[in-house]
Amino acid sequence: MGGGIARRCEIRANRPCGGDILNGGTFENCVLADNHANGITIWNGGLVRNCTIAGNGNAGITVYADGDILIENTVLWSNVLADLYCQPGQTNYATSHCCARDVPAGVGNTTNDPVFANLAAHDYRLASGSPCIDAGTNGPVVDLEHVPRPLDGRADRPCLWDMGAYEFLRAGADTDGDGMTDGWESTHGLDLVVQDHFEDPDHDGMDNEGEYVAGTDPWDAASRFEVSGVRVQDGKPAFQFPAAPGRFYDVLYKDDLLDTNDWLALTNDLPGSAGLMEWTDPLPATQRFYKVQVRFP
């Protein structure tokens, strides 16, 4: 590239090189992997940001000529001859927040193994224990796969950019602090970086946080927490409600709705299972009103 930007591209298994940068071009959020020679060759100035450059047959990046060269938030690993190679005498380049076995000392740089998800299978996403998680500086607001950045990949606050083209999504983290985990929000197409717990996109009367606690679908109005069926079993009322694993259910009652005392517990801590659960009142009264609660342990 003579200038210009390559953004969110995968450049793999080319012969000989992945890409060249001439005169100030940019690679951002790109994977350059398993090419037969260099991942990137930089000839005269350029920016490489949040890229993953791995498994190339020569060097990950070769710097051939000076200019304003910055390499940041980038993982270079398992390239055959070198991860980062600079021609002798060409030293006018800067690195920050990079991971490579031969990266020079610099702000945020590390020579530790980036711990890919599956190096042998050429899956260069970061695995849970990667030192590249939350180890970058400010970068683009999405990753290669349009996952928003930055996520709280260590679930420890603050939320920082990861090195490389892939932002690590830790299922149990809650990046935006809206009470719903990143894993659940991602699975259900909600916004991981905006507090949307009070929204009700399927207009079923349950907000997203309620759907999260109940394990129902926030985009399906037919999927909501309610007593969905009642039948009489041996003279005893049995009622059904949608349940989900990892939740506990309590059944409460009153025999008179005008009774201003608290609802009383008939049973507590029923462990949820997928699908409909049914519960039967073993000692029903002539008249009784029921309420089912769901919660996390």
* Residues contributing to the site for Ca ion (CB under 5 A): 176, 178, 191, 196, 200, 202, 204, 206, 216, 223-224
Amino acid code (one letter) for 151: L
Short-list 272, 271, 163, 262, CA closest to 291? 262
Amino acid code (one letter) for 35: N
Q: How far is the CB of 190 from Ca ion (least distance, A)?
A: 5
Helix H or strand E encompassing 182: helix 182-187
Nearer to Ca ion, 99 or 193 (CB): 193
Nearer to Ca ion, 189 or 282 (CB): 189
Nearer to Ca ion, 160 or 193 (CB): 193
Q: How far is the CB of 184 from Ca ion (least distance, A)?
A: 10
Q: How far is the CB of 197 from Ca ion (least distance, A)?
A: 7
Q: Is the distance from CB of 107 to CB of 95 less than 8 angstroms?
A: no
Nearer to Ca ion, 191 or 250 (CB): 191
CA distance 277 to 263: 21
Q: How far is the CB of 70 from Ca ion (least distance, A)?
A: 33
CA distance 2 to 52: 21
CA distance 210 to 282: 29
Burial, 127: exposed, middle or buried (Cβ in 10 Å; 0-12, 13-18, 19+)?
middle
Q: How far is the CB of 242 from Ca ion (least distance, A)?
A: 10
Nearer to Ca ion, 38 or 181 (CB): 181
Q: How far is the CB of 182 from Ca ion (least distance, A)?
A: 8
Q: Is the distance from CB of 19 to CB of 51 less than 8 angstroms?
A: no
Q: How far is the CB of 153 from Ca ion (least distance, A)?
A: 16
- Cα 173 to the chain's mean position, in Å? 9
SS3 183: helix
Nearer to Ca ion, 28 or 196 (CB): 196
Burial, 162: exposed, middle or buried (Cβ in 10 Å; 0-12, 13-18, 19+)?
buried
Q: How far is the CB of 225 from Ca ion (least distance, A)?
A: 9
CA distance 231 to 154: 48
Q: Is the distance from CB of 169 to CB of 152 less than 8 angstroms?
A: no
Nearer to Ca ion, 35 or 208 (CB): 208
Nearer to Ca ion, 41 or 175 (CB): 175
| Dihedral, CA of residue 70, residue 76, residue 79 and residue 85, to nearest 10 | 30
E-strand stretches of 50-122: 52-54, 59-63, 69-72, 75-77, 82-86, 93-96, 116-118
Helix H or strand E encompassing 211: helix 208-214
